[in-house]
Amino acid sequence: MHLQHHTADQIRAHLPPALAHRLGDAEALEGIARRSFLKIATASGFALGAYPLMANAQQGAAQAATGLKPDQQPAAFVKIARDGTVTVTINRLEFGQGTHTGLAMVLAEELDADWSRVQAVHGNADPAYNDPAFGMQITGGSTAVKHSYTQYRELGARTRAMLLAAAAKQWGVPASSLATERGVVIGPGGKKLTYGALADAAMQQPVPAQVTLKDPSRFRIIGQPTTRLDAKAKASGQQSFGMDVRLPGMLTAVLQHPPVFGSKVASVDDAAARAVPGVKAVLRVPLHDGGEGVAVVGEGYWAAKQGRDALKVQWNDTGREKVDSAKQLASYRELAAKTGNIKHDADMAPLASAPQKISAEFVFPYLAHAPMEPLNCTVQLSGSGAAAKATVWTGTQMPGLDTAAAARTLGIKPEQVTMNVQMAGGGFGRRGLLTSDFVVEACTIAKATQAAGISAPVRTVWSREDDVRGGYYRPMHVHRAEIGFDAQGKVLAWDHVIVGQSIMAGTFFEPMMVKNGVDETMVEGMGKPYTLPMRLSAHHPKHNVPVLWWRSVGSTHTGYVMETLIDDIARATKQDPVAYRMKLMDAKAVRHRAALQLAVDKSGYGKKTLSAGRAWGVAVHESFDSVVAYVVEASVVDGAPRLHQVTAGVHCNLAVNPKSVEAQIQGGALMGLSMCIPGAAITLKDGVVEQSNFGDFAVPRITDMPAIAVHIVPSADAPTGVGEPGLPPLAPAFANAIAQLTGKPLRELPFKV
């Protein structure tokens, strides 16, 4: 997802009332005491940490305010047990990107903690866990470390200062005379006190408003290749995910969605479903998009699924568009022939007389997110009226938004909803939905189950087929480019049109993200980092297919178009594609040049001799403020493109955890490869998605995975993100290698050679 250039105030101005109210609560907290810590008795002793409002309620009176916001105070973020274990609460969803380890490293660095005693947990819907830049809770846009780097450093430094103050008071010496090392305060004459021993006293110390952060030259945790905190649990199968929630008496629900999006139930014969052993209820329920579905609630997933399979449902799709992919493509091509709403304008007069020209059309299909763990959400309801409460367990990228949506669905206030954020098995944007679709559906089913006289927590689970057919895809796009250039490759005019659904239209982000009729997320990455006279315009047709951001958002297609066309011009003018890129780049593209040069140097490009039948492919792209360049080796085997070797040059400024950077680039490259392989497309016929599972929606297998070497450009600048930037340049680098072998550019994904 991509909202990184907007302030909290800009976002708040366009939020729905329920969510804006929650952000307002965060501001109100600024006038409440900032210092208080709640002493929590645990099996291992006392701990630093709790929430500011809880602390005030416990202590009965506000203490002197420091002027700090809730997201700047250690209370909600750090717990130190008597045995010295440091638990860091992370304000982002962990779903494979390594955020729990990265932000814990940042805080532990300034805390001077013993890393072997550090662990991390999820936050919840408390406003303290808002993204400090966005002012709302969100995991996306590769912003976790980027936005919270300074925040978590300061949290660690404030906690350390309070521990020092506590030790200084106990020893009767100035705090400035003390030092810390790996979870221990060191005093005069070598005296020592562990953080665990000081935690109780540290709670009584004021929270410092200002702290001095370490010079990066003194880092001992940040910048070190570090094994992820969740690696062992995940590798051993012990990690619990949202799908694994188990509660006493819990029932499981599966939902029959309409085959045509937004359709309603005309009739349902549920006799066979109710006869399935273990089925407790069959419920007709409204859906978030105005359609209807039929939920089957049973004692476990298998009973519920068997019951759903036995349903006989007739659907009413009157008034709903029945999208046909072939017809949709034809209409997109017609639109692409016309100039759309203007994003960038330039003089196109030189196009007619240009010595050389390229006319190109690109086609990109709908894509499903297909995370390893399908969507799920567990809801437990209790009480009624003013005493009604709901507890929710789910892996969510937007806990605050989903809490507000749950409250609205259940007819209660947000403060009556407890959100338990669960570890998630991937998401790629699908768990960060502005409609909160899967949370709303789970709450709707829980409410209907309760109304049917059944009192039990209900876990709603999506099957893989539900996931693939359930909507919210990366939009289908068509690009048309008309480019004029001279014999030296100087671009004289570049006329470019993009056609595709807007992912921001109709959302509360539309006022910020749709300007002059152009969705900023669809055109991001166009032109940069090259100096080009470009007229860029866009059309946003509307269709009955739900669309959403998909890992790296607009760069999934703009990066491909830009980097294959740049290669086409280099090939047409007989120039080395690396040298041509370097020449064409804007003078300010220092990071692009560094990333590309690093990949070139490490790959042996232009120096080593490739095996017969192989060719080099090159691409470089910036997304979410990080630059990734790929140099690949590829071939065509039995008529099919084959990727053998990938060398990455990455410029993400300071790499907090080089191991996580490497893993994210590898994962991004693999997902980029997934766009290339045959069968990697979502298509529709008569309004119905034709794919259903990995048998007909292809994903890479282990035999498709190339060898990947990741190299990071050294930098001490504040870190940028790496969750998404590894994806965009892979497909164009691969395509450019194939074009070198065949002489034919690849204009469509997945590849058709």
Residues 589-639 pLDDT 10s = 999 999 999 999 999 999 999 999 999 999 999 999 999 999 999 999 999
- pLDDT value of position 39: 29
- pLDDT value of position 67: 87
Q: Give Cα 731 distance to the centre of its chain.
A: 20
Say which DSSP state 629 is in: E
- pLDDT value of position 63: 32
Positions in the chain short of pLDDT 50: 14, 16-19, 21-65
Bridge partners, 711 (sequence order) = 649
- pLDDT value of position 50: 31
Provide the whole-model pTM: 0.92
Locate 96 and state its tokens: 């494979």
CATH class for domain 338-368+472-742? alpha beta
Segment holding 140, helix H or strand E: none
Domain 242-318+375-461 has CATH 3.30.365.10: yes
Domain boundaries, the chain: 8-235, 242-318+375-461, 338-368+472-742
Rounded distance, CA 260 to CA 437, Å? Answer: 16
- pLDDT value of position 753: 73
Instruction: Provide φ and ψ at 305, rounded to 5°.
Output: -65, -45
Rounded distance, CA 423 to CA 585, Å? Answer: 41
- Work out the number of other CB atoms within 10 angstroms of the CB of residue 662: 21
Locate 167 and state its tokens: 């030790």
Q: 8-235 maps to which CATH number?
A: 3.30.365.10
CA proximity to 90, closest of 455, 422, 469, 470:
422
- pLDDT value of position 2: 57
Rounded distance, CA 344 to CA 358, Å? Answer: 20
Q: Are 269 and 307 within 8 A, CB to CB?
A: no
- pLDDT value of position 55: 31
Same topology between domain 8-235 and domain 338-368+472-742 = yes
Task: Report helix, strand or coil for 311.
Answer: coil
Taking the CA atoms of residue 714, residue 716, residue 720 and residue 722 in that order, the dihedral angle to the nearest 10 degrees is 30
Name, in order, each residue with C-beta under 8 angstroms of 744's C-beta and a sequence gap of 6 or more.
Answer: 753
Bridge partners, 547 (sequence order) = 473
List the helix and strand counts (H, then E) for the chain.
Answer: 21, 30
Q: Are 630 and 618 within 8 A, CB to CB?
A: yes
Segment holding 737, helix H or strand E: helix 730-742
Strands 376-382 and 458-461: antiparallel
Q: Are 293 and 469 within 8 A, CB to CB?
A: no
Segment holding 615, helix H or strand E: strand 614-623
